[in-house]
Amino acid sequence: MNTFITLSDEVRTAREEKKPVVALESTIISHGMPYPQNVQTARDVEQIIRDQGAVPATIALLDGQIKIGLSDEELDILARSEDVAKASRKDLPYLAAAGKHGATTVAATMICAAMADIPVFVTGGIGGVHRGAEYSMDISADLEELARTNVAVICSGAKSILDLGLTMEYLETKGVPVMGYKTEQLPAFFTRSSDYPVHFRVDEAEEAAATLHAKWGMNMEGGAVIANPIPGEYAMDEEVISGVIEEAVQEAGNLGITGKDVTPFLLQKIQESTGGQSLDANIALVKSNAEVGAAIAVSLNKKQS
Amino acid sequence: MNTFITLSDEVRTAREEKKPVVALESTIISHGMPYPQNVQTARDVEQIIRDQGAVPATIALLDGQIKIGLSDEELDILARSEDVAKASRKDLPYLAAAGKHGATTVAATMICAAMADIPVFVTGGIGGVHRGAEYSMDISADLEELARTNVAVICSGAKSILDLGLTMEYLETKGVPVMGYKTEQLPAFFTRSSDYPVHFRVDEAEEAAATLHAKWGMNMEGGAVIANPIPGEYAMDEEVISGVIEEAVQEAGNLGITGKDVTPFLLQKIQESTGGQSLDANIALVKSNAEVGAAIAVSLNKKQS
Amino acid sequence: MNTFITLSDEVRTAREEKKPVVALESTIISHGMPYPQNVQTARDVEQIIRDQGAVPATIALLDGQIKIGLSDEELDILARSEDVAKASRKDLPYLAAAGKHGATTVAATMICAAMADIPVFVTGGIGGVHRGAEYSMDISADLEELARTNVAVICSGAKSILDLGLTMEYLETKGVPVMGYKTEQLPAFFTRSSDYPVHFRVDEAEEAAATLHAKWGMNMEGGAVIANPIPGEYAMDEEVISGVIEEAVQEAGNLGITGKDVTPFLLQKIQESTGGQSLDANIALVKSNAEVGAAIAVSLNKKQS
Ligand SMILES: [Mn+2]
Ligand SMILES: [Mn+2]
Ligand SMILES: [Mn+2]
Inform me whether the pLDDT recorded for B102 exceeds 80: yes
Q: Per-residue confidence of chain A (305 residues) as pLDDT tens digits? A: 789 999 999 999 999 999 999 999 999 888 888 899 899 999 999 999 999 999 999 999 999 999 999 999 999 999 999 899 999 999 999 999 999 999 999 999 999 999 999 999 999 999 999 998 988 999 999 999 999 999 999 999 998 899 999 999 999 999 999 999 999 999 999 999 999 999 999 999 999 999 999 999 999 999 999 999 999 999 998 888 889 888 998 999 899 987 777 888 888 888 888 877 888 999 999 999 999 999 999 999 999 88
Distances (CA, A) of C182 to A180, B205, C125, C126, C179: 48, 53, 17, 19, 9
On average, the pLDDT of chain B sits at 94
Rounded CA-CA distance B221/A148 in Å is: 14
Rounded CA-CA distance C22/C298 in Å is: 9
pTM check: above 0.90: yes
Q: Are strands A101-104 and A55-62 parallel, antiparallel or unpaired?
A: antiparallel
Catalytic residue among C46, C67, C159, C291: C159
Mutate: best of A173, A186, A196, A216, partner B, most B CBs <10 A = A173
Identify the CA nearest to C265 among candidates C74, C88, C131: C131
Q: Where are the beta strands (DSSP E) in B112-214?
A: 120-122, 152-155, 178-181, 200-202
Distances (CA, A) of A191 to A27, A37, A265: 21, 22, 20
Is-cis flag, bond preceding A93, omega within 30? no
Inform me whether the pLDDT recorded for C273 exceeds 90: no
Which ligand gives the minimal distance to the CA of B165? 3
Is-cis flag, bond preceding C177, omega within 30? no
Contact B233, B291 (CB under 8 A): no
Rounded CA-CA distance C219/C212 in Å is: 11
* Res B148: pLDDT: 98
Complex ipTM: 0.96
Of the given ranges (A11-15, A290-294, B265-269, B283-287), which has the lowest mean pLDDT? B265-269
Contact C146, C153 (CB under 8 A): yes
Secondary structure class of C125 (helix, strand, coil)? coil
Q: Is C284 left (phi over 0), alpha (psi -120 to 50) or beta?
A: alpha
* Res C192: pLDDT: 97
**In this prediction, what percent of chain C has a pLDDT beyond 70?**
100
| B165 with C111: Cβ contact below 8 A | no
Q: How many CA atoms lie within 13 A of B9 on its CB side?
A: 2
Counting as contact any 3 or more CB pairs under 8 A, the partners of A are: B, C
Q: How confident is the model at residue B123 (pLDDT cuts 50, 70, 90)?
A: very high
For the ranges B68-72, C30-34, C234-238, the one whose mean pLDDT is highest: B68-72
Rounded CA-CA distance B165/B167 in Å is: 5
Of chain A, the end-to-end C-alpha distance in Å amounts to 20
| C211 with A135: Cβ contact below 8 A | no
Identify the CA nearest to C224 among candidates A91, A289, B195: A91
Give chain A's domains with CATH numbers: 5-304 (3.40.1790.10)
Inform me whether the pLDDT recorded for B196 exceeds 90: yes
Query: Which strand (E) or helix (H) includes residue A36?
Result: none
pLDDT in tens, B18-30: 999 999 999 988 8
Which ligand gives the minimal distance to the CA of B143? 2
Mutate: best of B140, B172, B219, partner C, most C CBs <10 A = B172
A220 neighbourhood in chain B, CB within 8 Å: 89, 92-93, 111
Q: How confident is the model at residue B263 (pLDDT cuts 50, 70, 90)?
A: confident
The response to whether A142 counts as a known ligand-binding position is yes
The response to whether A106 counts as a known ligand-binding position is yes
Q: Point out the residue among B3, B89, B98 whose CB comes nearest to the CB of A175.
A: B89
Tell me what the mean pLDDT of segment C162-179 comes to.
Answer: 97
Inform me whether the pLDDT recorded for C269 exceeds 90: no
Backbone angles phi, psi at A203, to 5 degrees: -110, -5
Examine the residue annotation and report whether C302 is marked as an active-site residue of this protein.
no
Rounded CA-CA distance A68/A89 in Å is: 17
* Residue C24, C-beta contacts closer than 8 angstroms, at least 6 positions apart: C42, C45, C46, C49, C56, C57, C58, C59, C109, C121, C122, C123, C290
pLDDT in tens, B209-219: 999 999 999 99
Rounded CA-CA distance B187/B146 in Å is: 18
**Looking at the DSSP assignment, which residues form a beta bridge with residue A155?**
A227
Distances (CA, A) of C134 to A30, A135, C169, C223: 35, 6, 13, 25
Tell me what the mean pLDDT of segment C27-46 comes to.
Answer: 91
**Looking at the DSSP assignment, which residues form a beta bridge with residue C84?**
C101
A111 neighbourhood in chain C, CB within 8 Å: 218, 220
Examine the residue annotation and report whether A159 is marked as an active-site residue of this protein.
yes
Inform me whether the pLDDT recorded for C31 exceeds 90: no
Of chain C, the end-to-end C-alpha distance in Å amounts to 20
* Residue A250, C-beta contacts closer than 8 angstroms, at least 6 positions apart: none
| A97 with C210: Cβ contact below 8 A | yes
Question: Amino acid identity of C265?
Answer: F
